[in-house]
Chains A and B, each alone.
Chain A
Amino acid sequence: MRSRRLEEQIFKGLMIASLTLVLVVLAGIIFITIYKGAPALTLSMLTETPKGGYYLGKEGGIANAIVGSLYLGLGASFCALLLSVPVAFGLQKEYTGWRFASFTKLVLDVLWGIPSIVYGAFGFVVMAYFGLRASLLGGIIVLTLLMLPIMVRSMEEVIRTIPLELKEVSYALGTTRIETTMAVVLRQALPGMVTAVLLAFGRGIGDAASILFTAGYTDYIPRSLFDPVASLPLAVFFQIGTPIPEVQERAYASALILLLIVFVVSIVSRILSHRFSKHIVR
């Protein structure tokens, strides 16, 4: 009896230790970013594009990277969403045999694990073949590809957990597959699908390697899909690499802005998810 109680204590201790470690590391990242970045975070940082001496620590801001990252992240999320929803539903057993579905899922899992620099290199090769230069469009396309496996797999998992009985009662009313999918399964899966989009968005907006060659970098806000575009991850990368301390501080400020964007998007998606779960059957 005593040994069993001891076992219980050990496992409880392990859980607390791991949880503490994870929280401390996360809090550390956030603390360092705020501590180093907050002093450099000024209004002009948010509203101005880099002026002549910006990278030497003089006036200007990174509005180009903020707007660029939002364009890239939102644009790619939108494109990935359009593609992922039909794919995630199509992988269900009502539509696809399990052999093909599990093969596709395996491919997606591999794609999920591929380093983003490979996506960037792939995009670069394809764009070079078509004679395209680094642009907003190129960045959006590559980020869409990067997000796809994450979105599809997460959505597919959510949809698969929907109980067969719920679908049965819908089919029993004489509905078609698509009617049941759209009116019943989609509604039930919606909160989880919002989370899937958030997950993919977070990965996409924070990624630097895939857009290094495909979106480029510029001090201007793009006026069309074919202009190169700046992004926050690359802004962090370039600024932190300089020897000038003021500029390094600005790198942390840029990281802080990125953190805040992801934070706001998370909150919004929480609210959306909560609103969508009103009708959910538990």
Chain B
Amino acid sequence: MPHISLNNLSISYGNHKVLHEVSVDIPDSQITVIIGPSGCGKTTLLKSLNRLLDLNDDVSVKGNVLIDGVNTYDPKADVLSLRKKLGFLSQRPYPLPMSIYDNIAFGPKVHRLTQEQIVQQIRDLEGRSFQVPERKNGAMDVLVESYLRLAGLWDEVKDRLRTPASRLSIGQQQRLALARALAVEPEAILADEPTSALDPLSAQLIEKQFKFLRNNYTIVVVTHILRQARRIADYVIFLYLGELVEHGPAESFFKSPKDERTRAYISGEIS
């Protein structure tokens, strides 16, 4: 059973229907790209997975989203641990108003990890044992370094961990957001047009990082850039005007689309 699966999911804002009966399984340990033109419900779909939609007024959700077999929209569902399972990258990176170091340490601290749990987490991540430095917060220091390395940011920030995260470049901020999301040990990464605010080189670094992480994490990326989808997708979901038109492995999706609208979208006839 896949980590994430959607059943007959319909979402509307007030009277405006945004998503119409979407059912799809998101394959594990792959990069799933949700494509489609602007305003067709891609971001809504993404945010419905970790219930960030709850922050908006007047949203109604029908159908269900199963995360590891648990219905997210069950009133008894534990939203906090559910969100912890799904790391999130926003369109424009938002560092938390604290230092680079604290941005990474924030999640583990909020979840009140003990020293032993931190050590265990690093072991699981690095796949080897290591020496905890004998200083205050020694284990947390190692954890912060590990995740900054995993996000490909360590070498650029190792000398200024205590400076405000807001001083990083926007591309670095997005990789910091990635490291911050990974530090709470999610199973999946949800990214909402993660490169749209970035310059091409920073965007490339993020894409590279996604490809690097796909073996261990389920990655869902929303994008309206078709070329980006071609570059990184293992699996593609195509939304058009709130409707799930077609989904399938990237190769067959791009080579032999079944639906006329998919073909038109890929060839650039419609946008």
- Closest chain A residue, CB of each to CB of B92: A165
* Interchain CA distance A164-B166 in the complex, whole Å: 17
| Cβ-defined contact, A173 with B52, below 8 A | no
Q: Which residues of the other chain, B, contact A170 by a CB distance below 8 angstroms? A: 96
| Cβ-defined contact, A93 with B84, below 8 A | no
Q: Which residues of the other chain, B, contact A164 by a CB distance below 8 angstroms? A: 55
A174 within 8 A of B: yes
Given A172-B181, A174-B80: A184 touches B96 (CB 8 Å cut-off): yes
| Cβ-defined contact, B98 with A175, below 8 A | no
Q: Which residues of the other chain, A, contact B14 by a CB distance below 8 angstroms? A: none
Given A172-B88, A172-B181, A183-B110: A281 touches B81 (CB 8 Å cut-off): no
A203 within 8 A of B: no
* Interchain CA distance A282-B97 in the complex, whole Å: 9
CB within 8 A of A174: which of B57, B81, B90? Answer: B81
B111 within 8 A of A: yes
* Interchain CA distance A281-B98 in the complex, whole Å: 9
| Cβ-defined contact, A173 with B95, below 8 A | no
Interface members, chain A 156-172 (any B CB < 8 Å): 163-172
Given A169-B96, A173-B84: A183 touches B181 (CB 8 Å cut-off): no
| Cβ-defined contact, A281 with B52, below 8 A | no
Nearest chain B CB to A231 CB, angstrom units: 38
Q: Which residues of the other chain, B, contact A176 by a CB distance below 8 angstroms? A: 80
* Interchain CA distance A192-B70 in the complex, whole Å: 42
A4 within 8 A of B: no
* Interchain CA distance A2-B181 in the complex, whole Å: 57
- Closest chain A residue, CB of each to CB of B93: A169
- Closest chain B residue, CB of each to CB of A185: B97
| Cβ-defined contact, B83 with A278, below 8 A | no
* Interchain CA distance A168-B43 in the complex, whole Å: 13
Q: Which residues of the other chain, A, contact B165 by a CB distance below 8 angstroms? A: 279, 281
Given A179-B110, A183-B106: A172 touches B83 (CB 8 Å cut-off): yes
A188 within 8 A of B: yes
Nearest chain A CB to B111 CB, angstrom units: 7
Q: Which residues of the other chain, A, contact B52 by a CB distance below 8 angstroms? A: 168, 171-172
Could you mark each residue 168-207 of chain A with 1 if its beta carbon is under 8 Å from any beta carbon of chain B, else 0?
1111111110010001100110000000000000000000
Q: Which residues of the other chain, B, contact A175 by a CB distance below 8 angstroms? A: 80, 110
Q: Which residues of the other chain, A, contact B184 by a CB distance below 8 angstroms? A: 173-174
| Cβ-defined contact, B98 with A163, below 8 A | no
| Cβ-defined contact, B166 with A173, below 8 A | no
Could you mark each residue 218-257 of chain B with 1 if its beta carbon is under 8 Å from any beta carbon of chain A, else 0?
0000000000000000000000000000000000000000
Number of inter-chain CB pairs below 8 Å: 83
| Cβ-defined contact, B94 with A163, below 8 A | yes
Q: Which residues of the other chain, B, contact A93 by a CB distance below 8 angstroms? A: 57
A280 within 8 A of B: yes
Nearest chain B CB to A52 CB, angstrom units: 57
Could you mark each residue 134-173 of chain A with 1 if its beta carbon is under 8 Å from any beta carbon of chain B, else 0?
0000000000000000000000000000011111111111
* Residues of A contacting B: mostly: helix
Q: Which residues of the other chain, A, contact B37 by a CB distance below 8 angstroms? A: none
| Cβ-defined contact, B180 with A281, below 8 A | no
Interface members, chain A 199-236 (any B CB < 8 Å): none
| Cβ-defined contact, B83 with A171, below 8 A | yes
Q: Which residues of the other chain, A, contact B88 by a CB distance below 8 angstroms? A: 168-169, 172
Interface members, chain B 75-110 (any A CB < 8 Å): 80-84, 86-88, 90-92, 94-99, 106-107, 110
* Interchain CA distance A278-B110 in the complex, whole Å: 22
Nearest chain A CB to B176 CB, angstrom units: 11
| Cβ-defined contact, A172 with B80, below 8 A | no
| Cβ-defined contact, A168 with B87, below 8 A | no
- Closest chain B residue, CB of each to CB of A97: B57
* Interchain CA distance A168-B57 in the complex, whole Å: 14
| Cβ-defined contact, B80 with A279, below 8 A | no
| Cβ-defined contact, B94 with A169, below 8 A | yes
Interface members, chain B 161-178 (any A CB < 8 Å): 164-166, 177
| Cβ-defined contact, B97 with A187, below 8 A | yes
Interface members, chain B 135-164 (any A CB < 8 Å): 164
Q: Which residues of the other chain, B, contact A163 by a CB distance below 8 angstroms? A: 94
| Cβ-defined contact, B90 with A168, below 8 A | yes
| Cβ-defined contact, B166 with A280, below 8 A | yes
* Interchain CA distance A94-B54 in the complex, whole Å: 10
| Cβ-defined contact, A173 with B55, below 8 A | no
Question: Which of A98, A167, A278, A280 has the most B CB atoms < 10 Å from its CB?
Answer: A278
Instruction: Give residues in B with beta carbon < 8 Å to A.
Output: 50, 52, 55, 57, 80-84, 86-88, 90-92, 94-99, 106-107, 110-111, 164-166, 177, 180-181, 184
Provide 24 A-B residue pairs closer than 8 Å at the C-beta atoms, listed in order of the A residue. Answer: A94-B55, A165-B90, A168-B88, A168-B90, A169-B88, A169-B90, A169-B96, A169-B180, A171-B52, A171-B83, A172-B87, A172-B88, A172-B181, A173-B181, A174-B80, A174-B83, A174-B107, A175-B110, A179-B110, A183-B96, A187-B98, A279-B165, A280-B164, A281-B165
Please list the 10 inter-chain residue pairs (A to B) with the smallest Cβ-Cβ separation, ordered nearest first: A172-B88, A174-B84, A187-B97, A279-B97, A174-B83, A279-B164, A173-B107, A174-B80, A188-B97, A166-B94
